[in-house]
Structure 1
Amino acid sequence: MAKAIPQSFPNTVHKLCHWHILKKYKEYLALLYKKYKTFKEEFTAILNSPLMPIEFEVAWAELMHKYKLENDQMMIQLWSDRKMWISAYYKNIFYARMNSTQRSENMNHVLKRGFVKGTQNLHKFARRVNACIQTRMQKENEQTMTSMINPMTETTYGYQEDMSIKYMRAVYTEMRTRMRKATLFRAKPTAEPTKYLVYYHKKASHDDEDRFAWSKHEFQVVADLENEICECECKLWTHTGLFCLHIMNILDHLKPDKFPDKYILKRYTKTAKSQPTFDTRDYNTTASDGSSRLSKQDILLQLNLMVNKKAMRCDQQYDRAYYVLKRLVEELDAIHSANQADANERMAEEDAEIEDDLHYYAAKMLHAAAQANQCKQGVDQSME
C-alpha cells in the first residue's frame, strides 16, 4: 500500500491509522503500563497534545529518558515511523483530526451489534440497514428538538450567550468544557496589539486528566475581534471548525460581546438541517431563483404519490390518471424543446453577430494593408 498510494494517488497524503499502530504493540505497551503507573497517562498526553514537531520530539526524548527506554526496540520502531502517524507532522494538511478509521469502524459496530447478522439474507440485510438509518435519523431529530431550548450559561458574557443561542446543545456542551479547561492557560500580550502568546499554567484539579502535561509551548494567537479574525498556530479550527483552548482563553481574556459569526459553521448550529445546500448524493438543491429544489421535489413527490393512490381505486380513475399524466409528459417535453430552441436561436444570433464582426475587421485589415502597399509603391517610385 505504501508503494501503490503515491503512484495511484499522487496528490494524496498517506497517513497511518493511530489505533492500528498502537494495537500492533498492544501487549508490550500493556507491560509498560503495568510496570510504570504514570507512563500511559504521559505517553498518551504527548501523542494527543497539539504540539509542534520540534516540541513533540523534545517531549518524546524526555519521556524516554525518564523511564529509561532509549534503547527499547519497540519504542525505537514507533519513533522511526513517527512522521507517518503523529499528528504534529500534519499541521498544514487538512485531515479533520482523523487519526484512525474509527468513523467507519463505529458504524460497522452499530450495525453488527443491534441490526444485522452474518447469516442473514441480502433482502433482510437491506431492510435491517434501512431500520438502522431510520433509528439514527430519529435520534438526530430528538437531539435537534432538544437543542431548540437554549441552555443556561455559566456567565453573562455576551460571547457565551451567543454560543448557547447558535450552537446545538451537544456542541455547546463541548465548548463549555473547553471554556473551563481554557483557564488552565494564561495569555500575555506581544508588541503587536492583536497578537498574544498563550501558555500552559497549571492543572485545575487532581481529578482532571493530565492531558496538558507536555503543553509547554507558547501558542501564538491572533485575535482581531473588530475584523472577526481569530487564528491559532495549533490550527485546530482549520481541522475541526471549533475553537481550541488557546483561542477560548483569549476570548475569556477579552470578553467580547459577540462570538465571531464567521467561525460558527452551520453544521454545528441548531439550523444545520434547514435548507441544505446539497443532499446526500451531493446534488445541488438550490434553484437559480434562490428557492430550494429539495422542497419543490418533495411537493411533486407527494402529489405523485397521491395521484398514484387515488388512480388505483378503479379502472376509470386509472384510465383518467394515465391519460392526464401522458398528456402532461408531452406538454413538459414540448416546453423543454421550445426553451431549447429559443436558447439555440439566441446562440445562433450571437454567432452570426460575431461572424459579421470578424468579416468587418478582416475587411478593415485588408483595406489598411492595401493602403500601406500603395504608400510603399509611391515611396519606391519617388526614390527612383
Structure 2
Amino acid sequence: MNGRAPKAIIIDQDRAMKNAIAIVFPNSRHRYCMWHIMRKLPEKLGSHAAYDTGLKTAIQSVLYDTQSAEEFEEKWGQLLHKYNLTDNVWLQGLYNERSFWVPVYLKDVFWAGMSTTQRSKSMNAFFYGYVHSGTTLKEFVDQFDNALRKKVEVETTADFHYCNQTIPCASAFKIEKQFQSLYTNAKFKEVQREVWGMIMCNPTLVSTQGCISTFDVFEEISTSDEHVKIVKFSVYYNEEECEVKCTCALFEMRGIVCRYAFRVCQMKYIHELPEKYVLNR
C-alpha cells in the first residue's frame, strides 16, 4: 500500500479490531459485515411469535428500503413498538452502532458493491475442485500452485475477450454507447443491467430551483413472494454542471450510474455524461 491507509474496511463485530482500526487508520471508514449480523436473526429473534409472519420481513424493509437516517430512525422505532422489542438488548446494541452497519449510514463511501467480509466465499471459490478435507500438506502446496495458475489463466482469457470482443448495446440510449467504449465487458454488463431497468422507472419533476431540478423516480419491483412493490428515489440534476445524483447512492457505493439517474438523463435528452461518471473508479 506504500504507506497509504485503506479508504474502507469491512470487519466482523470484533471490539478489538474496531478499536485498533480507529487508532491505526483514523481516516478509514469501516463497517460491520452485514452477512454476519443478518445470520444471527434466527438465533436472537427466532423465538418471537411473529418472526416468520412479519417481523423478519419488517426488519429487512427497515434496513434496505430506507433512504435517509431520519426515515430509518422513524421506522426502527415503529418496528420496536409494533413487535414489543423496545427492551431487546441485542437490537439496542445494534442500534447504538447503527453507523457501522445500517446501509443508509454508509451510502457516501465507495464499497465496490461489498457489504460482507467475503472471506469464506472467495477462498472456497479459489480452492474449489483442488483441495478437500483429506488433502495432505504436500498435495496442498502442489494444488495451490495449480489453483493459482488457473486463476491467472482465467484472468488472461478475460483480458483477451475484452480486447477482442465487444458486447453490443441493448438500446439506442447514447450514454450506454459511451460506457461501452470505456468499460471492460464485465463492468459494461453492470451498466447494461441498469439500462434495462430503466423500462420500469417513471420519473416525475418535483421542483426546479435555478439550475437544479429534483425528480421523484418510481420503480415497480417484484418481490420474492411474487408481490409487486413501488419504490421511490429522488434524483437531483444540475443543468449547469451536467451533474446527476440519486438518493439510492449506487454510484457512490459501486461506481455504477443507476437506472434512476439514467432515466432522468433520458428525460432531459442528455447524450453524454462528464468523465467523472465513467472514469471515477
Give the TM-score taking structure 1 as reference length: 0.55
Aligned to 2:9: none
Match of 2:39 among 20, 23, 27: 23
How much does 1:221 deviate?
1.2
Aligned to 1:150: 168
Aligned to 1:264: 278
Aligned pairs for 1:86-165 (under 5 A) are 86-102=102-118, 104-117=119-132, 119-121=136-138, 123-138=141-156, 140-141=158-159, 144=162, 147-153=165-171, 156-165=172-181
Structure 1, residues 32-86: CA drift from partner, whole Å, max 9, x if none? 6984345444432432346221111122223344444444444333323322211
Residue type at the aligned position of 1:127: D
Structure 1 pair 126–109 and aligned structure 2 pair: CA distance change class (3 A): closer
How much does 1:19 deviate?
1.5
SS of the residue corresponding to residue 39 of structure 2 reads helix
1:186 and 2:207 aligned: no
Residues of 2 paired with 1:21 and 1:228: CA distance? 39
User: Percent identity of the aligned residues?
Assistant: 21
Structure 1 pair 87–235 and aligned structure 2 pair: CA distance change class (3 A): same
Question: Is the contact made by 1:236 and 1:243 (CA closer than 8 Å) also made in structure 2?
Answer: yes
Aligned to 1:337: none
Residue type at the aligned position of 1:148: T
Q: Mark the runs of 5 or more structure 2 residues left unpaired by the alignment.
A: 1-15
SS of the residue corresponding to residue 19 of structure 1 reads helix
SS of the residue corresponding to residue 98 of structure 1 reads coil
Match of 1:221 among 213, 216, 236: 236
Aligned to 2:258: 244
How much does 1:242 deviate?
0.9
Question: Is the contact made by 1:91 and 1:235 (CA closer than 8 Å) also made in structure 2?
Answer: yes
1:46 and 2:65 aligned: no
Structure 1, residues 312-336: CA drift from partner, whole Å, max 9, x if none? xxxxxxxxxxxxxxxxxxxxxxxxx
Aligned to 1:59: 75
* Structure with the largest fraction of helix: 1
How much does 1:193 deviate?
4.8
What's the Cα RMSD here? 3.7
Residue type at the aligned position of 1:187: T
Question: Is the contact made by 1:158 and 1:255 (CA closer than 8 Å) also made in structure 2?
Answer: no
Residues of 1 paired with 2:279 and 2:66: CA distance? 22
Aligned to 1:5: 21
Aligned pairs for 1:293-304 (under 5 A) are none
1:36 and 2:48 aligned: no
Structure 1 pair 198–210 and aligned structure 2 pair: CA distance change class (3 A): farther
Structure 1, residues 212-231: CA drift from partner, whole Å, max 9, x if none? 76x55x6351343x644223
Residue type at the aligned position of 1:231: K
Question: Is the contact made by 2:107 and 2:252 (CA closer than 8 Å) also made in structure 1?
Answer: no
SS of the residue corresponding to residue 221 of structure 1 reads strand
Residue type at the aligned position of 1:257: H
Residue type at the aligned position of 1:52: S
Structure 1 pair 178–64 and aligned structure 2 pair: CA distance change class (3 A): farther
Q: Mark the runs of 5 or more structure 1 residues left unpaired by the alignment.
A: 268-384
SS of the residue corresponding to residue 203 of structure 1 reads strand
1:198 and 2:225 aligned: no
- The structure number with the bigger radius of gyration is 1
Q: How many residues align?
A: 261
